Chain A
Amino acid sequence: MNIAVTPPAYTPADYKSDVKPIWCPGCGDYHVLMSFTRAFAQLGLTPEEVVVVSGIGCSSRIPAYTNCYGFHGVHGRSLALAAGLKVTRPDLTVVVASGDGDGYSIGGNHFLHACRRNVDMTYVVMDNHIYGMTKGQPSPTTEPEFDTALTPGGTKVQPFHPLVVALASGANFIARCYSGDANETADVLAAAIKHPGFSFVEILSPCVTFRPDEKAWKDLVRPAPIAATDDQGKAARRLMTDDGFNVGILYRGNRLPFQPAAGAIDIDLSVLEKDFEL
């Protein structure tokens, strides 16, 4: 008997957990959560096909707010966890959530090598140019003139340029979004998830508590004037010269993802355990 089965249609609400977010009202991360759930619904992924992995920080609370599989890891190590997961369970969709402190400072080295290794996963960094959870210390993307009691007169340190670093390190998909535009961000996330290899999406996500000036981002962001390119040279020139407010997909590479063939890693775990026996 031939029975036509209609695949279940998922709505964004199907990916939300019962845990209520505790971000500050006005925080951009609320929008990012919406974009995650809208992207998953758009792709028709079942919640159990998705794993959201994170490190530490306001942004990294996000796995608890979804009912997908989640792993709230240690500070800066989300990419290592996620890469290990993806190579052993390539059937799962792995999305990693981080912030500019977690991802670019403590996790900076993992970021470089995750781009280089090109495992098929999506890395989302909610960048608010500040350590919000620990009460407002400058992060790697904080402007040099940002003046606080901890950094009188500003850090005077050139900010990190995450998109340029990602490109130079080998990321296969690079995009920038603004959290306030949840639908546009959802579309970009869906494209990032579908693109093979390591996809990096920086989301400008204002911290209303320690960086109320970032509310102005809403008026500064604009769609990138040029379509995405697969030419690293063009992408490099574009990324080096933009002012950080061009949003959209900026680079789509065509490197093959790193994925060991099933059974290629033939290790008996009990043998490894012997090294740790007391």
Chain B
Amino acid sequence: MSKPEGNPSVASLNDLLAVAYRIEIDAVERYNMLADQMETHNNPDLVKVFRDLARAEGIHGEEIRRLAGDFDVVAHARKIARFERGDSPEEADLTSAHYMMTPWHALQLSLSGEQRALGYFTSIVETAKDPKVKTMAAELVEEETEHVKLVHRLLKRYPEPSANWAEDLDPPSSQE
């Protein structure tokens, strides 16, 4: 099956499960990293949001492990599931982080990640030759669609912050 440049090759059901597992685990690592950053920069609300997101992605990863049964999806993920160019689909964009960011921003990052994962698995459904891969990818598309809806629901709890959300009354000592 053809694949976009830099994405791992998905030739079998085990490959797909390994990639799906890797996507979730990469997301866990990234959210925890962001939570650590927010801890360091004293933004406790965001620490909680990012830890919760990491926990949720970890649960998704465990579900994929269960789906894989006796197959060692962790080892296979380490071997084949590497996104050569850029982040893996659900990894939140680190460059968008800000020490004064709000839960709304965190959920926007999460939404982008879920949408990228949805797009990724949709592309597998469209291009897979193996019917087992196609079926499993379609299931993953359904799951990711649910995740997108969930983040949209969560976003209703957090209104978009005002335009000056990054205004710091005690800013880093700047020259200007």
Contact = CB atoms under 8 A, between A and B. Distances in A.
A214 to B, nearest CB: 10
A259 interface: no
Nearest to A20: B36
B95 A148 contact: no
B116 to A, nearest CB: 15
Closest 9 CB pairs of A and B: A25-B97, A25-B37, A149-B175, A26-B97, A148-B175, A135-B173, A20-B36, A25-B99, A136-B175
20 contacts: A24-B99, A24-B172, A25-B34, A25-B98, A25-B99, A25-B101, A26-B95, A28-B95, A31-B94, A31-B95, A135-B172, A136-B175, A149-B176, A180-B86, A180-B95, A181-B85, A183-B6, A183-B83, A183-B84, A215-B95
A187 B84 CA distance: 9
A26 to B, nearest CB: 4
Given A25-B41, A25-B98, A180-B86, 16 more contacts: A9-B78, A20-B40, A21-B40, A22-B40, A24-B99, A24-B172, A30-B37, A135-B172, A135-B174, A136-B174, A148-B176, A180-B94, A182-B87, A187-B84, A208-B98, A209-B172
B174 A184 contact: no
Contacts of A180: 86, 94-95
Interface of A is mostly: loop
Interface of A: 9, 11, 13, 20-26, 28, 30-31, 135-137, 148-150, 180-184, 187, 206, 208-210, 215, 218
Interface of B: 6, 29, 33-34, 36-41, 78, 82-87, 94-99, 101, 172-176
A15 to B, nearest CB: 14
* Residue of B82, B83, B94 with highest tally of chain A CB at under 10 A: B94
Contacts, number: 68
A25 B174 CA distance: 17
Contacts of A181: 85-86
Contacts of A137: 175
A183 B174 contact: no
A206 B95 contact: yes
A39 to B, nearest CB: 13
Nearest to B101: A25
Contacts of B41: 24-25
A205 to B, nearest CB: 10
